Amino acid sequence: MKIPLIYIVRSLFQRKSSTLITIISFTLVVLALISLLAMIEGVNKTLISSGAPDRMFIINKNATNENQSRLSQLDIQIIGTYNQIKLDDNAYPVMSNETVKTSYVENEAGVRFQTNFRGVDLNNALKVHYQLMLVQGRFFRPESRDEVIVGKEVFSALNADLGDQITTPVGKFTIIGVFEDNGSPFESEVWTNVTNLGLIFDRPEVTSIWALIKDPDLMSSFVDQLNHQKMLNVYATSEQDYFKQGTTAAQGFQILTWFIAVVMSVGAIFSAMNTMYASIADRADELAIMRALGFRSRSVRLATLIESLIMALSGGILASLIALLFQGITFRTPLTGLGYVTFEVTLTPELIITGILFSIFMGIMGGWLPSRRATHLSIIEALNS
């Protein structure tokens, strides 16, 4: 089956304006799709990669996140007796009893946003959160009432310097240190002494326990044991699984992204159909001559369909090249239970392929009916028209 490829390319260049408009339509749809999917990929990558395999997380079983949780002293004491939990050099369980309070912070320039304040016993917290590393300043003193250390993402968002004060509804705090934690959601938090936080925010209860276990292979069975222990009123999970729960919101956003892309694609498909119908109407005599010269009807139909596919594929490739410019750009978004999470746009080869395939789909949908129109008239009728 012969296909007049040279004719296809020439016809596209003869209609430069309409061809360009159609390509831009495809580009915008694919760009929106793969850019949003790349943001979702960045969120998932951050959450999944930042958790430690030997660290577990425990809250009240009636709570959905730390801010809602309250743990009893009895639960805390019982959990510390399990032999699956790692012991330090002094034979104490490596556990960090922490208190979380969500509040807004405001810098001296008036920049305000919501974040988690986390109260910790520093000695215990550093044993459990062993990936945490101070990158500027120093740690807060246990006896201080206004000293805090902040995650690097909070520090950046506040455009702060060491020694700056941040304002909350209950008072002011002084930033005396900045920390990193392997890209985890903790980098978007403010940390201070647990006693200090309890007094200032009137939050004396322990809201969560973070603990290290002796062997990561024991995590699943230990989690199951705690969750089915009737004398405990707790919900336990691994840190990795807890962070993965944040991807649930990202999955919902992924569904919304595809919905938006499909709605936008309707416009691009109609743009392609309009362009192809107009082109076929203008070239009815040319298409008839091609058939008279021996090109089969299906060859002519396929040729016009390929025109639509070329425009769609051009839009998909152009969108992928533009999206590459966004690679690595940092964004900050709130996730239920985890506070604000900072992530990088992550454009993978799979996402580019997805965008290209989606553009091809739009090209087929936009060119199929016009291609049928190309041979709708008989050769004599087309030449007379």
CB atoms within 10 A of CB 73: 10
130 Cβ neighbours under 8 A, 6+ residues apart: 52, 212
Residue 213's beta-bridge partner residues?
85
**What pLDDT score was predicted for residue 261?**
78
Pairing assessment for the beta strands 112-120 and 95-106 based on DSSP bridges: antiparallel
pLDDT higher than threshold 90 for residue 297: no
pLDDT higher than threshold 60 for residue 158: yes
Using alpha carbons only, give the angle 359, 363, 367 rounded to the nearest 5 degrees: 175
As a dihedral over the C-alpha atoms of residue 160, residue 127, residue 211, residue 66, rounded to 10 degrees, the angle is -20
Mean pLDDT is lowest, of 101-105, 158-162, 274-278, for: 274-278
Rounded to two decimals, the pTM is: 0.70
Query: What does the pLDDT look like over 373-385, one tens digit per residue?
Result: 555 555 555 445 5
Q: How confident is the model at residue 7 (pLDDT cuts 50, 70, 90)?
A: low
**What pLDDT score was predicted for residue 226?**
94
Q: Where are the beta strands (DSSP E) in the chain?
A: 55-60, 95-106, 112-120, 133-137, 147-151, 165-168, 171-180, 189-193, 208-212, 234-238, 330-335, 339-344
SS3 of residue 374 by DSSP: coil
**What pLDDT score was predicted for residue 382?**
46
What percentage of residues in the chain have a pLDDT greater than 70?
79
Is residue 159 within a helix (H) or strand (E), and if so which, with residue range? none
Query: What does the pLDDT look like over 246-273, one tens digit per residue?
Result: 666 666 667 777 777 778 778 777 776 6
Contact yes or no for 59/65 (Cβ under 8 A): yes
Mean pLDDT is lowest, of 15-29, 69-83, 110-124, for: 15-29
Contact yes or no for 239/51 (Cβ under 8 A): yes
277 Cβ neighbours under 8 A, 6+ residues apart: 370, 373
Q: Check residue 96 and give left, alpha or beta (phi > 0: left; psi -120 to 50: alpha).
A: beta
Give the separation between CA 26 and CA 267, rounded to whole angstroms: 9
CA neighbor of 152 nearest in space, from 142, 140, 162: 162
Contact yes or no for 71/253 (Cβ under 8 A): no
Q: What is the 3-state secondary structure (H, E, C) of 70-132?
A: CECHHHHHHHCCCCCECECCCCCECEEEEEEEEEEEECCCCCEEEEEEEEECHHHHHHHCCCC
Query: What does the pLDDT look like over 174-199, one tens digit per residue?
Result: 999 999 998 888 988 999 999 989 88
